[in-house]
């Protein structure tokens, strides 16, 4: 086993530690364990950053043309968005979803074959920033909205039915905080998703000489955009709050998972990660 692979496995173990320790700290109401989980995620994030930089600067191949690099980058962006929201909202509840998702995505990147994606060098930087960068940030925000929405629905049901809250629930922030996280994710995520979708169609016109090719990835991306647009409109114009945007965020995340895993790995598509 090479030194680089050992380094990557160590990063995965740190993400695994954050994924397991935080729920234990929440269940046992131990702040020390929750802080340890956060520090494990922070250490994993720092080393993950080093790994991405090394892939960009040290390896002989172009990482921007490898599916492996993109999965690893997506996991890194998930953790970055968590730290931004953690700093902004002053709550670490999103650790419940951030570290597990980062672990899954980073581990998946280790299993993906290093197949080459067709990206002309003169356009790779532009395509990367407009299409890949924006879609990954918006996906991370949708994941954060999913975590906040799922917890919102759980707590709201407990409160409405007047059921006794488990001990760990008492340490969670208010419903308003979860709703605010959803609001942030929608306000920032939808414009970025729109930019990514439009740049993808522009890229298709250059690469395949047609804007729409009825690719499975294109179709599900448009469906996600329509639902995301409806959520953005209801949030910003109609003043949606609470249960409805929480439910919609859960649906959006499920569709994004289908797109990322089901389409990219299982169906014939221009975006396939299969060898």
Average pLDDT, the chain: 82
Which residues make Cβ contacts (< 8 Å) with residue 2, sequence separation at least 6?
Answer: none
95, 204: one domain:
no
- Which of these three, 71, 93, 117, is where a domain ends? 117
Phi, psi of 50 (to 5 degrees): -60, -40
Per-residue pLDDT tens over the stretch 195-245:
999 888 887 777 667 777 778 888 899 999 999 999 999 999 888 998 999
- Bridge partners of 66? 116
- From CA 13, how far away is CA 42, in angstroms rounded? 13
Structurally, the chain folds into a number of domains equal to 2
Q: Are residues 263 and 152 in the same domain?
A: yes
- In this prediction, residue 22 carries a pLDDT of 87
The DSSP string of 220-236 is: HHHHHHHHHHHHHHHHH
Helix (H, G, I), strand (E, B) or coil at 273: coil
Same domain, 130 and 112: no
Question: Each residue of 252-261: pLDDT tens digit?
Answer: 999 999 988 7
The pLDDT assigned to 13 comes to 94
Alpha helices in 58-166 (DSSP H): 67-89, 95-111, 121-127, 134-160
CA 150 to chain centre: 15
Asked whether residue 245 falls in the same domain as residue 128, the answer is yes
Residue ranges making up the domain that contains 184: 123-275
Q: Output the CA–CA distances (angstroms, integers) from residue 33 to 16, 19, 28, in the order listed.
A: 14, 11, 9
CA-wise closest residue to 119 among 2, 254, 223, 270: 270
pLDDT of residue 14: 94
**137 and 103 both lie in a single domain:** no
55-77 pLDDT, tens digit each? 888 755 566 556 678 788 889 99
Same domain, 110 and 156: no
* Phi-psi sector, 151: left (phi>0), alpha (psi -120 to 50), beta: alpha
Do residues 67 and 201 both lie within one domain? no
Distance CA 87, CA 259 (A): 30
The residue with greater pLDDT, 132 or 33, is 33
Same domain as 234, residue 147:
yes
Residue 96 pLDDT grade (very low, low, confident, very high; cuts 50, 70, 90): confident
Note whether 111 and 127 are same-domain residues. no
Question: Quick one: 272 and 140 in the same domain?
Answer: yes
Per-residue confidence band for 122, with pLDDT thresholds at 50, 70 and 90: very low
Instruction: Work out the average pLDDT over 137-164.
Output: 89
Which pair of structure tokens corresponds to residue 240? Answer: 């949606």
């Amino acid at each position: 086993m090479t030194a680089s692979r050992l380094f990557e496995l160590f990063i995965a173990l740190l993400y695994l530690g954050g994924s397991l320790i935080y729920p234990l700290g929440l269940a046992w109401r131990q702040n020390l364990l929750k802080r340890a989980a956060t520090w494990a995620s922070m250490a994993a994030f720092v080393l993950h950053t080093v790994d991405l930089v090394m892939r960009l600067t040290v390896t002989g191949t172009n990482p921007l043309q490898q599916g492996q690099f993109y999965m690893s980058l997506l996991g890194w962006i998930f953790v970055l968005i968590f730290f931004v929201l953690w700093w902004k909202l002053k709550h670490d509840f999103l650790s419940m979803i951030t570290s597990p998702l980062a672990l899954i995505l980073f581990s998946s990147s280790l299993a993906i074959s290093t197949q080459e994606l067709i990206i002309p060098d003169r356009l790779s930087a532009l395509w990367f920033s407009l299409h890949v960068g924006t879609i990954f940030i918006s996906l991370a925000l949708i994941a954060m909205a999913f975590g906040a929405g799922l917890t919102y629905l759980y707590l709201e049901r407990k409160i409405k039915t007047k059921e006794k809250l488990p001990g760990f629930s008492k340490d969670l922030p208010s419903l308003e905080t979860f709703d605010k996280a959803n609001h942030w994710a929608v306000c920032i995520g939808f414009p970025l998703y729109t930019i990514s979708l439009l740049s993808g169609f522009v890229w298709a016109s250059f690469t395949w000489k047609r804007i729409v090719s009825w690719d499975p990835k294109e179709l599900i991306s448009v469906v996600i955009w329509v639902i995301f647009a409806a959520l953005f409109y209801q949030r910003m114009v109609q003043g949606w709050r609470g249960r409805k945007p929480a439910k919609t965020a859960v649906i959006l995340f499920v569709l994004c998972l289908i797109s990322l895993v089901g389409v990219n790995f299982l169906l014939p598509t221009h975006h396939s990660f299969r060898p």
